[in-house]
Each structure stands twice: as C-alpha cells, then as structure tokens.
Amino acid sequence: MRTVAIEPTFESWQAAARMLLREGVPPADVRWRETATADQPSLAGEAPAPRGSVRVPRQFLELARRAAASADPARWQVLYETLWRLVHENHDLLTDARDPGVQRLNSLLTQKGPGEGESAAPFVPAGAGLAELRAAAARCTGCDLYRHATQMVFGRGDDKARIVLVGEQPGDQEDRQGAPFVGPAGEVLDRALAEVGLDRERLYVTNAVKHFKFEERGKRRIHQTPRASELAACRPWLEAELAAIRPEILVCLGATAARAIIGDSFRITRDHGRFAATRWAPKTIATFHPSAVLRGEDEAQQAQLYTMLVEDLRKVAQA
C-alpha cells in the first residue's frame, strides 16, 4: 500500500496522479492523505497519462476540478479510480451514466466544498490562459464576498512574467477601479519596485482573495481580513493564475498571502526575506505588505517597515 500526501487542492492531486500513473500504481494500492505540504511539486497542464496511452478527455479535467472542491474525504480516491479507468479501460467511461463509478464522481459535484460550502472551483475553466480566466472570473459567485464588493479584481500584468506578486485582497480603490494595487498601498509598492529597479509592467500582480471584504463605518469602507474559508474558496483562481504563468519567482506580500502560499506556520516578522522552493515557483519569498508601511505607528516605524520591504524586493531583483 502506498500513502500519498497531497495538499487538498486539485493541482496537488493532479501532480500526484500523474506520478502514480507513470509508475503504474493501481488505485487499490494507493491511500490518499491530506497535508499542508505535498509529496511532489505541482505539474501544470493537461491530465496525466502514461507514455503510449491516449489523452484524458477535457471533460474529466473540468469534472475533477469541481469534484476537488467537495468536502468528501474520499474524493481523491474516486478521482484517481476514474482517471485510471479512463486511461486503462474505457476512454468513453464518462458517457455511461449508469456506471457506479461515474455516478459516484457526479455525486461529488453536488456536495459542499471548503468553508461553509463556498468555492470558486466550479467557475474556473480547466487549463485556461489568463485572458479566459479573467473573463470567467467576472462571473464568479463562489463565496459571499461578491455580494458586497463592486467587482471581481483579477490579477494584472505580463502573462509571461518571471515574477508574480501576491497580496491579500483588493482595497477600496482596487474594488472601485477593478485592478490590484492601485490605491495607497499600490503607490508604496510602485515606489519600492522603482527603487530596486523592477519594472511593474513586466511583473504580474494579483491577490489571494479577489473580492474586497470590508465593514462600513459611515461613508468609509474599512478593510477586514478574509477568513480561512474565504481564502480557501478563492484559492482555485490563484492556483489557475500561477499554473498559467509558471513564475520563476513568487513574492508573497504580507502574512495572509504568505500563509496561503507557504503554510500556516509562516510568520512574517521571523521568516520574511528568505527564498524557499514551493510547488508554485522554484524561488518563493515573502515580505511585508505595502499597507503595513502605511499602518506604522509613527514615521520611524513606517520608515523601518519600508526599508525592510525594499531590502526584500532587492533580493528578488538580484535573483
């Protein structure tokens, strides 16, 4: 029996399934275990298939991505059993609505996903490029945040960027303008990027959560940190962006983005400025969010935080 540890995401399962198929490991010999760190890096692209076999139907990729958002702990096994049969037994398996395995797969699509049944997964087109993802994202109602925000704020930048920056969520101005980092925090980020010689036009900038979460106080809309369930619900969009770009360097701006990418054990004051390999990029680093500079208690603290932000971004520029 082989135990395979994966992050509870479609991309992590896909990478593991590809590896298992190449090694010829049948479903009966696999036990799936969810963990914060996967056994293997993510592999983007079409569903895996061993050498010499036919390709897996695109329909399966779409169904598998949606089923991965289910809360059923058996979903990874169901997906791998279906994938194995598609490759080794019947390429047209999904057309047989009476097949028990197909019925089990379809039942996963009606189950609730992470955090109060919220997930963007059903709205994310499988294997899409950034233009198609951006168009699809405008229709996302995967969590309740869309009910109050002005619009979905998708990532912007070079679709061939070597460097991707990920923040927490849009702010007030980002929500109104429909673009990330165009408000006060964006001004800080632009100043820091210019100081280290990074051209924002050649980067890709996005957020872990795509809708603005806020509390109204009079005429003001005050930022609220997204819950873990909201991060999980929006994660499929971030995964799809990173899979489409495949950056060499991934920069997490702030603790929320760092925990979403690196893990819950990350601490921004302790771990910022260090490169590490993740399944998204060979070099991943975290630094302070530009808004943290603005929230500094006084000018001295603001200057200190800005200096640390610039120093960390300088490492990115040199890398």
Please check the confidence at residue 257 and state whether its pLDDT lies above 90. Answer: yes
Please state the rounded mean pLDDT for residues 113-123.
70
Tell me the average pLDDT of the chain.
Answer: 87
CA distance 9 to 231: 13
pTM for this prediction? 0.66
Q: Tell me how far apart the terminal alpha carbons of the chain are, to the nearest angstrom.
A: 42
What average pLDDT does this structure show over 89-107? 87
Is the pLDDT score of 41 beyond 80? no
pLDDT of residue 117: 55
Mean pLDDT in residue range 105-121: 70
HSE of 91, CA atoms in CB hemisphere, 13 A: 7
**Phi-psi region at 198: left, alpha or beta (left = phi > 0; alpha = psi -120 to 50):** beta
Domain ranges, ordered by start, for the chain: 2-111, 117-318
What's the CA gap between 193 and 185, in Å, rounded?
12
What confidence score (pLDDT) does residue 118 get?
77
Q: Flag whether pLDDT at 34 surpasses 90.
A: no
Query: If pLDDT is split at 50, 70 and 90, which confidence band does 109 have?
Result: confident
Residue 119: pLDDT band (50, 70, 90) is confident
Q: Determine the pLDDT at residue 204.
A: 98
Question: Out of 3.30.565.10, 3.60.21.10, 3.40.470.10, 3.90.1530.10, which CATH number does the structure's domain 117-318 have?
Answer: 3.40.470.10
pLDDT at 72: 79
List own/partner pairs for 50-59 with CB under 8 A and 24 or more apart: 50/21, 50/22, 50/24, 50/87, 51/22, 53/87, 53/88, 54/87, 54/91, 56/83, 56/86, 56/87, 57/86, 57/91, 57/94, 58/126, 58/127, 59/94
The residue type at 44 = A
Model confidence pLDDT, tens digit, residues 173-211: 999 999 999 999 999 999 999 999 999 999 999 999 999
Tokens of 62: 């779409």
For residue 227, what pLDDT is reported? 85
Predicted pLDDT of residue 74: 86
- The yes-or-no verdict on residue 319 having pLDDT over 80 is yes
Q: Per-residue confidence at 150, pLDDT binned at 50, 70, 90?
A: very high
pLDDT tier for residue 42 given thresholds of 50, 70 and 90: very low
Residue 37 is predicted with a pLDDT of 52
Q: Which residue has the higher pLDDT, 1 or 274?
A: 274
